[in-house]
Chain A
Amino acid sequence: QQKVQQSPESLIVPEGAMTSLNCTFSDSASQYFAWYRQHSGKAPKALMSIFSNGEKEEGRFTIHLNKASLHFSLHIRDSQPSDSALYLCAVSMTNTGYQNFYFGKGTSLTVIP
């Protein structure tokens, strides 16, 4: 049974700071890793995803994956008040054809102007 855990549970940072969010998973057969962002009262929306070990950067956002450590992370450079949201990590595996996703409980981020 896949277990996905996020840390920290909540985070408050000043505008302009670098923010780091963490996600650990339990099943080493996991192959697809993603971050979703959910603003208050809104639907979750995909931010970034990665398959292979290493880093992937898109604008202010970087995703880092280390499969051996069963860990991936999201880094937000120059955090903005509009980044305040619930961040959810998600993991999927090839044995389900990437159809079944496991989500973490989320990290609530507040960026203070």
Chain B
Amino acid sequence: GGIITQTPKFLIGQEGQKLTLKCQQNFNHDTMYWYRQDSGKGLRLIYYSITENDLQKGDLSEGYDASREKKSSFSLTVTSAQKNEMAVFLCASRTGTGGDYEQYFGPGTRLTVL
């Protein structure tokens, strides 16, 4: 088995501030994802990465940057925090091969913007 760790668990920032969320996985998975979940609703894809140094934009990428410098880690930066993006940010990973497309999720980072 493996685990996905997200830090911090809670992140409080000021409007306009640049904020970074981090994700680590020890599954040795190829693909990693960042999703945003607003108030108990569905997941919207922000960025994903199929290998180290690869970045693919999702439908919600505007206002965010991402970085995948190592296979095991994937970071997300909110470039200028806005009050309407208070949400839970979920990181996920999955293997890239073998027909198993199940995604494994981390516990999330809850973002509050003051």
Q: Which A residues contact B (CB, under 8 angstroms)?
A: 1, 6, 32, 34, 36, 42-46, 49, 86, 88, 92, 97-106, 108
Contacts and interface: CB of A to CB of B under 8 A. Distances in A.
Nearest to B43: A103
B42 A43 contact: no
B48 A42 contact: no
B107 A42 contact: yes
Given A43-B108, A44-B90, A106 B102 contact: no
Interface string B100-113: 01111111100000
Contacts of B105: 43-45
Contacts, number: 55
Contacts of A92: 101
A103 B56 CA distance: 17
B45 A98 contact: no
Nearest to A88: B42
